[in-house]
Amino acid sequence: MDGFDPIPDSLVLLIFNFVSDVKTLIRCRAVSKRFNSLVSQAESLLLKVDCLISPESSDADSSPLTFLSSFLKNLLHSLVSPKPHPTRTHRSLQNSPAQILRGFQAIRDLEIELPSGNLKLEKNTAVKWRAEFGKNLRSCVIFGFRELRSSPPSQIPADFGEVGFAGGLKLRVVWTISALVEASSRHYLLREVVKEQTQLERLVLRDKDGEGTVVMDKDGLREFREDTAELQVSDDLSVVIGGEGGQGQGQGQGQGVWERKMGGRTTVPSVRLRMRHVLKLEVEGGGAWMSGATLVIVKPTSSSTSDDRGPQQQAMEADVEGDEEKDAELALEAFGGGVYGEAVRALVKTRGYLLEMNSF
């Protein structure tokens, strides 16, 4: 008898849910027959992706206008690692998230973590975003700035860069489009996971750097699952299997490539943007200055919403004044803490302006 024998299954499952890391749990399956059966019933999981790769592309793909469609090329850490195989085949999906998660039958809360963000930004520039999806985009909060620099209280750095109105607006629009394309790309990659994991109630796809987060709640997952019910494995997915290590042993550092060809993303519907901008914003209690602080709240226009709200309610929510409180709630939910939260709280108090963007 070992030390776990007196512990009831319900408590062991609670421990497994607390551990959550998929790689660790797969290793636990090798401990005993009991662990092997209980691990598959874990409800809360975290799946970590090793690193990102980009497919081969032409010189045209590197232009400022086309780079927006080339996000999120993923290299997964292999938990099931057969011998290297040089052939690309749609039948070799052992390293895709969906395939790895097929050993778990009761997932309700799933987080997938990418190793880094994938936006192409200028030096010192930061852009953060949080997007909620169902079948399509429901909302997206984007926060960015050109530079953050320490400075004595109330003293603006002498060489703090400025951008003219036209140039600044163009830059903020590029930030917005970049974040929306990245969010829609991540959402697209979740189709197979959502389709197969029918008990999911919450799904989060984020990156380790905290650049962007895709969130889907229970209703959004159901809506997305119904929309993809007839889909088969996508023709724009190709997988290369390689590495060493035994299947299910949790040993070695096998690697698998989850590569999506150019253009794979969910269509962004027609949206309304409420943009707020402060040229120079004092943060950290006066200990630092933020250049070009920008907050953008993105919501589908009433014609592209897919929920059950009536036309009158949608029109009311589209009203400029009526949306202010909702915008603040969304922004603070996305970025409520630290220096970013401080900047967002200051920005939501400023006057915003509305832009509209067609579906793309």
Report whether pLDDT(207) > 70: yes
| CB neighbour list of residue 132: distance below 8 Å, 6 or more residues apart | 138, 139, 140, 214, 215, 216, 217, 220
Name the average pLDDT for the chain: 75
Mean pLDDT, residues 347-355 taken together: 90
For the chain, give the percent of residues with pLDDT over 70: 66
pLDDT at 236: 42
* In contact, 23 and 79? CB cutoff 8 Å: yes
* In contact, 116 and 211? CB cutoff 8 Å: yes
Q: Quick: pLDDT tens for 46-105.
A: 999 775 555 544 344 444 334 333 433 333 333 334 444 443 444 444 567 888 898 899
Return the minimum-mean-pLDDT range out of 102-106, 221-225, 257-261. Answer: 257-261
pLDDT at 52: 53
CB atoms within 10 A of CB 292: 22
Highest mean pLDDT among 43-57, 148-162, 268-282: 268-282
Report whether pLDDT(165) > 70: no
Strands (E) across the chain are located at 44-48, 51-52, 74-77, 109-114, 126-133, 137-145, 147-150, 202-207, 212-216, 237-242, 255-260, 271-283, 288-300, 353-357
Q: Quick: pLDDT tens for 2-45.
A: 677 888 989 999 999 999 999 999 899 888 899 989 999 999 99
Report whether pLDDT(346) > 80: yes
pTM over 0.85: no
* In contact, 99 and 116? CB cutoff 8 Å: no
Return the minimum-mean-pLDDT range out of 190-204, 231-245, 319-333. Answer: 231-245
Report whether pLDDT(237) > 70: no
Where do we find the tokens 């195989």? 85
* Residues linked to residue 357 through DSSP beta bridges, in sequence order: 271
If residue 170 lies in a helix (H) or strand (E), which one and from where to where?
Answer: helix 165-189
For the chain, give the percent of residues with pLDDT over 90: 36
Return the minimum-mean-pLDDT range out of 119-123, 230-234, 334-338. Answer: 230-234
Q: Which residue has the higher pLDDT, 271 or 58?
A: 271
pLDDT at 161: 59
Return the minimum-mean-pLDDT range out of 2-16, 31-45, 160-174, 343-357. Answer: 160-174
pLDDT at 124: 82
Mean pLDDT, residues 140-149 taken together: 91
pLDDT at 268: 94
